[in-house]
Amino acid sequence: MPKAKSDDELVFLPLGGSNEIGMNFNLYGFGPPHDRRWIVVDLGVTFGDQTTPGVEIILPDPSFIEAYADRILGIVLTHAHEDHIGAVAWLWPRLKAPLYATPFTAFVLREKLREADLLDEVEITVVPLGGKIELGPFSLELITLTHSIPEPNGLAIKTPLGVILHTGDWKIDPDPMLGAPTDEGAIRRLGDEGVLAMVCDSTNVFVDGRAGSESEVRATLMPLIAGLKGKVAVACFASNVARMDSVCRAAEAAGRRICLVGRSMRRMSSAAKSVGLMEDLQPFLEENEAGKFPPEKVLYLCTGSQGEPRAALSRIADGTHPHVKLGAGDSCIFSSRVIPGNEIPIRNLQNKLADGGVRLYTERDHPGIHVSGHPCRDELADMYRWARPTIAVPTHGERRHLLEHCAFARDLQVPQQLAPRNGDMVRLAPGRAEVIDEVPAGRIYVDAGVLTPENGEALRERRHAAFNGVLAVSVALDGRGRIVSGPQVRALGLPGDADNPLEDTLDDLADEAERALERLKGPERELDEQIETAMSRAVKKASQRIWGRRPVVETTVLRI
């Protein structure tokens, strides 16, 4: 490896995933400030919630690094979860850098690129587990870890100014059921050579102890499924192939055939089989043939554990699934955790199933049916003891997670700790680690398939309308601005009751609009824009008085 020059710097720049869980987008730069070369580690998405009506997918804003796209040496993907690879198909056309991934991740990625009609354009280099990647001043070595998806990798990023251990998502599972356990020896050897900084997962930093093993989940599921009568459905994350495998083994041991319900279940099983996993199971039943089996001879493995409205389990609960029905005497196991923010849709889903007579099993009442894929405090302590970094840089967490992680690293005698926000450029070397710059780091919304800015007008109006309602005001005028018909006011999302009927309120608003129009002088009544503004202001002011809200007001002037 060449020696560093006097003006070379090694920097870390998170553009997603710091101060939040999800949407991971991390950059490492090396060289003089005016001529850095970059690698990207992960390019993921997060998902919309009640604050982003109509928006399901949210991407990190790549504007900063897009300006230096010709200096990106490669995009390295640690594993195949959506919050690490989900933005590739959306944002690759703006970066156009070669991609590097292990076989399972590459399989999942190809399917995404095929759907986006990009497969023939994108260069993907498949890297074997434990393999190496040479990218300019960066020499990367993949380190096998364990997580809740096949082939999770940490990255040992070696540069002339020091070595960085980028953990990605991980846990320490001594018996992960599928794949190799965490390569403790590789991490210890790295620590012996000297680790400048460790950029590390913070998800479970508040949780004492250890996350638990997939082998424990399998041991719990086996007797649970064996003891159930009627139809059985199991909801889990499709990406957790070890969990899928455990459910399938438990089903077969209980004399049940497996039916995969949901596109992502079928996609992930295909990805697993492409790398030699889940091969010795009975063929899966198709949805339309599973119903022909006796109830006690079939198990449905479903997507939708988070209450997603279009996922398989939600359609089953609503009674709208074309092939799968659950009712009295049947059971549903939620072998998953509640992702923060999904509490309400999950509760609604479970209530619908329970109302239909389905017996529910969740981690709250059966703790052994799920374990986390992220490290708890004892596992973090192990990792720090093995790697022995000089600098702790927490990532993959909200602000409170990152700050607690820094405090924990301090307790573990790590000399330096730094908790950057998205957009904070951290100089790791030379000298003491510090934030040296702040760059734009926003979000891009996928709105009806269109990429829109975080504060775009359409979403602002939608949010405003969702809270305040909508009023539509229309009036017909002759050529001299005299009223021919109206004004008429229609409402969407605004209340009325027996004492104050909405129709009466709308008549009052129409009167306000008419008075505003009559106050305009002759020439003003000839300008449609002036008329629309006057009536809108009058209606908004009256609405504030009536409802304490200022609805979206759409005014139409028709000339007859």
Which residues 6+ apart lie within 8 Å of 477 measured at CB?
A: 483, 484, 525, 531, 557, 558, 559, 560
Multiple choice CATH, 9-209+372-453, 3.60.15.10, 3.40.1410.10, 3.30.70.20, 1.10.3720.10: 3.60.15.10
Please tell me the CATH superfamily of domain 214-366, with its number: Metallo-hydrolase/oxidoreductase (3.40.50.10710)
Rounded Cα distance, 246 and 266, in Å = 16
Residue type, 389: P
Rg (CA), the chain: 28
Which residues 6+ apart lie within 8 Å of 424 measured at CB?
A: 13, 14, 18, 435, 437, 438
**Residue 202: both structure tokens together:** 């913070």
Q: Return the exposure string of 106-128: e unless at least 16 CB atoms fall within 10 Å of the residue's CB, then b.
A: bbbbbebbeeeebeeebebebbe
In angstroms, the Cα distances linking 110 to 52, 101, 120, 125, 192 are 29, 11, 10, 11, 37
**Cβ atoms within 10 Å, residue 411:** 10
Q: Return the exposure string of 183-201: e unless at least 16 CB atoms fall within 10 Å of the residue's CB, then b.
A: beebbeebbeeebbbbbbb
Rounded Cα distance, 368 and 335, in Å = 9
CB 216 within 8 A of CB 371: yes
Query: Helices 241-253 and 214-226 meet at what angle, rounded to 10?
Result: 30
Rounded Cα distance, 402 and 417, in Å = 10
Give the architecture (CATH level 2) of 469-559. Roll (3.10)
**Residue 478: both structure tokens together:** 């002759």
Query: What is the maximal distance between C-alpha atoms in the chain?
Result: 88
Nearest alpha-carbon partner for 416 in 144, 52, 162, 58 = 162
For the chain, give every domain's residue range. 9-209+372-453, 214-366, 469-559
Torsion (CA) 211, 213, 216, 218 in degrees, nearest 10: 120
Q: How many CA atoms are closer than 13 Å to the CA of 264, on its beta-carbon side? A: 22
Q: Are strands 257-261 and 298-302 parallel, antiparallel or unpaired?
A: parallel
CB 374 within 8 A of CB 381: no
Rounded Cα distance, 213 and 231, in Å = 27
pLDDT by position in tens, the chain (length 560):
778 898 999 999 999 999 999 999 999 999 999 999 999 999 999 988 777 878 889 999 999 999 999 999 999 999 999 999 999 999 999 999 999 999 999 999 999 999 999 999 999 999 999 999 999 999 999 999 999 999 999 999 999 999 999 999 999 999 999 999 999 999 999 999 999 999 999 999 999 999 999 999 999 999 999 999 999 999 999 999 999 999 999 999 999 999 999 999 999 999 999 999 998 899 999 999 999 999 999 999 999 999 998 899 999 999 999 999 999 999 999 999 888 778 899 999 999 999 999 999 999 999 899 999 999 999 999 999 999 999 999 999 999 999 999 999 999 999 999 999 999 999 999 999 999 999 999 999 998 888 988 877 888 888 888 888 999 999 898 877 788 888 999 998 888 888 888 888 998 999 998 898 888 887 777 778 888 899 999 999 999 999 988 899 999 988 88
Give 299's strand partners.
Answer: 232, 258
**Cβ atoms within 10 Å, residue 336:** 21
Place of tokens 């280099």: 125
- The pTM score is 0.89
CB 27 within 8 A of CB 65: yes
User: Which string of DSSP letters, residue by residue, matches 538-558?
Assistant: HHHHHHHHHHS---EEEEEEE
Which SS3 state, helix, strand or coil, does residue 52 take? Answer: coil
Place of tokens 């904070």: 424
Residue type, 49: D
